[in-house]
Amino acid sequence: MSSHPAHTEDHAEEHEGMTKKRIWNVFYILLAITAVEFFIALYLVPHQVMTYHVANPIYIVLTLLKAFFIVGYFMHLKFEKAGLIIAIIVPVLFIIGLILVLTNESHHWIDLRL
């Protein structure tokens, strides 16, 4: 180890993104978000504190938050070059297009049934 101090230092800098401590921090965040989801599903909704009209959007926001932590930290995307981040994120926006189209379409299916 001591014979290659420059090399190890180089390495440490390159992968500064994910230290052991950071990995566990991200794990605790994911666990906490899941716990919040369970609290809503098992306590708040059954006890009529909130309806599913309120709960469902919250679930989706929390899910996207979890996705951000998994992709950003576990998959290391947050620490990649801007070009790679854009190349991965921009195509995903097409999925939003499909969501909009099929949501619209499913409104039409409701009308067909009546």
Interface with other proteins by CB under 8 A: which residues?
11, 15, 18-20, 23-24, 27, 30-31, 34, 37-38, 41-42, 46, 52, 55-56, 59-60, 62-63, 66-67, 70-71, 74-76, 80-81, 83-84, 87-88, 91-92, 94-95, 98-99, 102-103, 105-107, 109-110, 113
CA within 13 Å, CB half, 57? 4
For residues 99 and 42, give the distance between their C-alpha atoms in angstroms, rounded to a whole number: 28
Nearest residue to 59 (alpha-carbon basis) of 28, 96, 33: 33
